[in-house]
Structure formats: C-alpha cells, structure tokens
Amino acid sequence: MADSSTPRMKPRPLSPHLQIYRMTLTMAMSIVHRITGAGLYFGMALVAWMLIAAASGPNAYATFETFISSIIGRVILFGYTWALIHHGLGGVRHLVWDMGRGFEPTEREMLTLATLIGSIGLTIVVWVVGYFALGGLR
C-alpha cells in the first residue's frame, strides 16, 4: 500500500500555458485588459481623493490640484484616461464575444486592433478637448 503520509495523487494533465504559445494580438490585449482593469482599480483612489478634497475645502483641494497638475500627476492622469478608454472598448469587444459573435479569425483581429487604435485615438481627442477647455496649451 502507498505511504499514508503522501497523498496518492496521479499527476493530472495540465493545459499548456502562456509561454508555450506564440504571442498573438488577442492574447496581448487580453492581458492588457486585465492590467488596465487593475490600474483603474487603484486609480479609483485618486478619484476618491479628488472628491474628498473637494468636499473638505479649498486647502485640501489645492493640495490635490498641485499633485494632479504636476508632471507626475499629468502622466498618471494621461495613463488613467487611456486605461479607462481601453478597458471600456475592450469590454465592448468582450460583450460582442459574450454574444457568440466576432470569433472568425479576421473578425477577432479587427475587433482587437480597433480597441487598440480606438483607445489611443480617443485618449488624444479627450486630452485635446481638455486642453481647449483649459483655454489652449499653456
């Protein structure tokens, strides 16, 4: 009989994982969807900071504004804008797939490429509009 201290487990077959496959665009965007989701998760702390600061008073809001208009703040805000738009468009793609559509090789490549190009394009549009809302570049 087998030793009672060692569980009698047959090694189960494992499916090949990421390192086995050639990286494809859909794979990369699947990972990016998750990374942007995690980024937005922690980015919500920034949204909470903005709202709490505004509710706390002029001094607290000034502190937030100093941070967000600094170079680091702007880079984070730019990244947050892109992450939000990319995660949103990626979500639309996943909703299309949830409906059982868009699985043909060309369709899924086009959908995935569209989310990437769309997210970069829309991020630039939002920032251009944002700078115009501020009264142009300064």
Partner 1 sequence: MSLRNPQFRSAARRVRGLGAAHTGTGHFIGSRVTSVALLFLSIAFVAVVVGLLGRNHAAVVQILGSPLVAVLMLLFVGTTAYHMWIGMQEIIIDYVHDDGPKFAALVANSFFCVVIGVACVFAILKLSFGV
Which residue type occupies 92?
A: V
**Among residues 23, 24, 25, 58, which is the contact residue for partner 1, using CB under 8 A?**
58
Candidates 47, 113, 120, 124; binder of partner 1 (CB under 8 A) is 47
| Minimum separation from the CB atom of position 113 to partner 1 (A) | 20
Amino acid of residue 86 = H
Contact 78, 123 (CB under 8 A): yes
Which amino acid is present at 54?
A
At CB < 8 A and 24+ separation, what contacts does 62-66 make? none
44 binds partner 1 (CB under 8 A): yes
Alpha-carbon distance 129 to 34, whole Å?
A: 28
The nearer residue to partner 1, 86 or 108, going by C-beta atoms, is 86
Closest CA to 90 of 39, 34, 47: 34
Q: Does 27 bind partner 1 (CB under 8 A)?
A: no
Binding residues for partner 1, rule: CB under 8 A, are: 7-9, 34, 37-38, 40-41, 44-45, 47-48, 51-52, 54-55, 57-58, 61-62, 81, 84, 88, 91-92, 94-95, 98, 126, 129-130, 133-135
